[in-house]
Homo-oligomer: A and B are copies of this chain.
């Protein structure tokens, strides 16, 4: 998918909502456990109930790998289901991969070719040649961790380096000099809304994937104040638990729909306020 297509979908749906498909089998409605593939069945119903207000789905690989081959099958079925039924939706494999060059190429093939995701999240610690193999794929996007939403996030990301800047700012600046950096997006946690101003000074046009709204305590309005980019929006706001676990009974998909629509309504107001729609 191209950036232009993603931006046009955001405008059409008046939404920059990403739904995180982090499916823990112990948290899904019990009646689904009798189906052949409970995780896929759960995802299918969540997707069908929310696609009209979501521009993006983001399954996190951890929740599938935890169930071995069975989990990997659910993961595969989920991406295929989205691609077949909702081809205009942007897809993110939240995998946080990264390795030496020839190995990163194998990961890129796994997510971009075998599974046909539009994007994958990667970790920056191993540097340029661990990320550039992902960036080499045209119309595929590599979403690199910059500033994460967890409490340990600042352990190293916030470490002040010699120039006086925190590490995450150096990570952003450096990555933007890499080959094919036009295919980069960044993960920036919503729990740190104040940081968006400084990040936009470094990366004014980059798309930012923002987890941490909802269960983790981040504020949508806070993020958008500095995070939104009037030209191409530049934000994908992820909500996982707040949507997918809105109810634990047979009405779970309906409850997810209501929560997703609430977020989309707020997003439409923000887009209008910024004269984007």
Contacts and interface: CB of A to CB of B under 8 A. Distances in A.
Interface in A104-134: 104, 106-107, 109-110, 114-115, 123-131
B148 A62 contact: no
A21 to B, nearest CB: 12
A174 B155 contact: yes
A125 B168 CA distance: 10
A69 B66 contact: no
A72 B75 CA distance: 12
Nearest to A150: B100
Interface in A44-74: 60, 62-63, 65-69, 71-73
A67 B115 CA distance: 9
Interface string A150-163: 11111111011110
B161 A170 contact: no
Interface stretch (A91-99, A225-233, A267-275): A91-99
Interface residues of A, number: 60
Nearest to A152: B127
A145 interface: yes
B156 A106 contact: no
A74 to B, nearest CB: 11
A170 B148 contact: no
A66 B106 contact: yes
A106 B69 contact: no
B129 A156 contact: no
A167 interface: yes
Contacts of A65: 106-107, 110, 114
Interface in A152-191: 152-157, 159-162, 164, 167, 170-171, 174
Nearest to A63: B106
Given A62-B110, A107-B62, A156 B152 contact: no
